[in-house]
Amino acid sequence: MKILTVIGARPQFIKAIALSHAVASTEGVEEVLLHTGQHYDDNMSAVFFRELGLAEPKYRFDLGGGSHGHMTGKQLSAIEDALVSERPDVCLVYGDTNSTLAGALAAAKLHVPVAHVEAGLRSFNRRMPEEVNRVLSDHAATWLFAPTQTAVENLAGEGIKGDRVQLVGDVMYDVARLVIDNPARRTDIVRRLGLEGRPYVVSTLHRQETTDDPARLVAILDALAETAKVMPVILPLHPRTRKTLAGLPQAEKAASVLTMTEPLGFFDMASLLAGARLVVTDSGGLQKEAFFHKVPCVTVRDETEWVELLQLGWNRLPESFDVQGIRTAIAGALASAPGNAGEPYGDGHAAKHILRYLMQTCK
């Protein structure tokens, strides 16, 4: 069986490692990696290939930047050419980026079966480009690998059901266990940032709905700055966020009291999360990573796809996006002590379940 895997953005590099490792240890399966270049600088791309032992892609393009339509169109064309050349048994896509949608569309139009990993997530907010990408990718897919029971139910509500939908768990949990089960793999990031023996907050901000709304971004930064009076706040800066901050003089005062770093590699971020008191983020993936490390989270968005974490008390949303609303959510999360919530994201072997199903189905 030959799998052509389309990746392009930081979260996909991390997710891909679980299945790529499973493929490497399985006879009769070949994986061809295609990197669209949606994330292209070293801190957002190459570092993950080095750290996680992900094989160098056979196809590597430079198709990031520009509008959503231009980016997706260029990716669609390049992926189509690779599919025609490789003639894979399945095209595998992850998550909800433009690369995901381009891969799913290109394969579907060539009648190559599409496997969508992390299928069925819904924020029910069509203003988010990620929501459009995930809905269209799900409806183009042949097989849909859902991380949670909620995702399965979302798909059923859209008429997608039966054996083509498989509840396998979350591949991100597979990868998180590389550090959770092996503390020796932690880096010295906590020491390097002078955080040993101190409570601290980890934050990331990168989504378009945050960076394109100066009032919201400034409110979040002001709330984080208030928190930084009590404990350090570590903010690895996404390139988009750094660019936005450079044009926001009103954010300078708040930003000056935060500990800003370059984007962090997988093991640095996992090691930082392992000792954190709280996570504040607009990232879908980091919400779950916080939970894997049993760290409470505030998601600075209007909604989240990972509703299980809200229901279990490990995550919360601000009631309003002024400084007070965000500060209240942060204070509530710091004061809470959620119990052990089990494992709503599977058994840590999602990649093996996916590969086993594809091998049986593609015979």
pLDDT 10s digits, 311-327 = 999 999 999 999 999 99
Contact 205, 211 (CB under 8 A): yes
Contact 99, 65 (CB under 8 A): no
Q: Do 2-170+346-361 and 183-335 come out as alike in CATH topology? A: yes
The CA distance from 10 to 41, in Å, is 10
Contact 170, 148 (CB under 8 A): yes
One digit per residue, the tens of pLDDT, for the chain of length 363 reads: 999 999 998 888 888 989 998 998 899 999 999 999 865 554 445 666 677 777 889 999 886 767 888 889 999 999 999 999 999 999 999 999 999 999 999 999 999 999 999 999 999 999 889 999 999 999 999 999 999 999 999 999 999 999 999 999 999 999 999 888 988 889 999 999 999 999 999 999 998 889 889 999 999 999 999 999 999 999 999 888 888 888 888 888 888 899 999 989 889 999 999 999 999 999 988 999 999 999 999 999 999 999 999 999 999 999 999 999 999 999 999 998 777 667 899 999 999 999 999 999 986
Query: In the chain, which ranges are continuous DSSP H helix?
Result: 10-24, 46-52, 68-86, 98-109, 129-140, 149-157, 171-180, 189-192, 208-211, 214-227, 239-246, 252-256, 266-274, 284-292, 307-312, 323-335, 350-361
Is 206 a residue of the active site?
yes
- Contact partners, residue 181, CB within 8 Å, separation at least 6: none
5 has which bridge partners? 33, 92
Superfamily classification of domain 183-335: Glycogen Phosphorylase B; (3.40.50.2000)
The residue extents of the domains of the chain are: 2-170+346-361, 183-335
Contact 308, 148 (CB under 8 A): yes
Superfamily classification of domain 2-170+346-361: Glycogen Phosphorylase B; (3.40.50.2000)
The CA distance from 353 to 363, in Å, is 16
Q: For residue range 82-134, what is the model confidence (pLDDT) as tens digits?
A: 999 999 999 999 999 999 999 999 999 999 999 999 999 999 999 889 999 99
Task: Catalytic residue, from 39, 116, 206, 353: name it.
Answer: 206
